[in-house]
Amino acid sequence: MNNIKTEFSIKDLENLSGIKAHTIRIWEKRYNLFQPKRTDTNIRYYATESLQKILNVAFLNNNGYKISKISKLNYEDIASLVKEVAAKDLKSDDHSINDLKLAMLTFDQQLFSRTYNDLLTKKTFKEIFYDAFVPLLNEIGLLWQTDTITPAHEHFISTRIKQKILLNIEKSQDAPKNNCKKTFVFFLPENEIHDIGLLFINYKLINKGYDTLFLGQSIPTDNLTDLLKFFNEIIFISYFTVKPEKEHLASYLEDFYQKLLLNKDNELWILGYLVKHIDLEDLPKKVTPFLDIKELINNLQKLS
């Protein structure tokens, strides 16, 4: 791909590795760890190899290795030591997350697949989602805000994570049904497109034998009223990341209550960044907010 980013600023390295730019400069000067290049205007920049090296160096440093020792190793030995340390510490996912970040930045589908398949040898898909994908997605939000990555990077990694969730949903379709009479309907509000969290919850519920209906992105409230003709007990589940806007949250929820919950055996469960901006005391009846996916999944135990 001709548009792959191959040059990174020292601020990029700081944002991606967690190592302060000041510290990176000290490591350069004292230990000759990195050899930045310079533009015609004398601004330093780093190649992809330097990015991969700083990620590996940060991983080793976070695992107790002194920078003075790391600096004496060549590029290949550093990479080998990282694999050795990662293999011993099965609870640490830092190395895998770094590889996923590198795959995203270089649009490397094979690296993503290798990293995912390696994780599968140690973890269940649920553990991979919570331990690797969720921290990665949280970090991506910060990287986007600091202009370290573009929407293309986010879409690349999000699409591959979605593919893995869909694959596991397909594998779970034959799970034994439970006795719950409720139907779970997954949707996102109008103009909301961030559906990875919803997809994973859908996977978890299908795996537990619940009846689900995944509608996906940008569904107007009025469109959901069609479901009332077919289902008597619905639990709607939605993720509020950027929509509806903070100032419209209360009116959106009240409108939803009037059209889909009032005098019906239905509920609305909501998650996402915007939930923290909701006044819990003014929430309409039958609307339940959750802090995260795990809390929502645990709430299923209360259902008959």
DSSP letter, residue 131: I
What six digits make up the tokens of 96? 């895998």
Residue 46 and residue 36 in contact, taking contact as beta carbons nearer than 8 Å: yes
Domain edge (last residue) among 155, 172, 189: 172
| Whether residue 95 sits in one domain with residue 65 | no
Asked whether residue 145 carries a pLDDT value surpassing 70, the answer given is: no
Asked whether residue 214 carries a pLDDT value surpassing 90, the answer given is: yes
Asked whether residue 222 carries a pLDDT value surpassing 50, the answer given is: yes
Domain edge (last residue) among 118, 153, 172: 172
Q: Of the given ranges (113-122, 125-134, 135-144, 283-292), which has the lowest mean pLDDT? A: 135-144
Phi, psi angle pair for 250, to nearest 5°? -60, -45
**Residue 165's pLDDT is what?**
96
pLDDT band of 17, cuts 50, 70, 90: confident
Residue with tokens 């949250």: 249
The CA–CA distances, whole Å, from 164 to 117, 125, 132, 141, 281 equal: 11, 9, 13, 20, 38
Q: Which residue has the higher pLDDT, 149 or 72?
A: 72
**Residue 49's pLDDT is what?**
80
The number of domains in the chain is: 3
| Whether residue 264 sits in one domain with residue 181 | yes
| CB-based burial, 142-179: b 16+ in 10 Å, e otherwise | ebeeeebbeeebbebbbebbeebbeebbeebeeeeeee
Q: What is the mean pLDDT of the chain?
A: 87
| Whether residue 116 sits in one domain with residue 80 | no
Phi, psi angle pair for 209, to nearest 5°? 90, 15
Percentage of residues in the chain with pLDDT exceeding 90? 41
The CA–CA distances, whole Å, from 193 to 103, 238, 262 equal: 23, 11, 27
| Whether residue 266 sits in one domain with residue 201 | yes
- Domain with 163, as residue range(s), is 90-172
Please indicate, yes or no, whether the overall pTM of this predicted structure exceeds 0.85. Answer: no
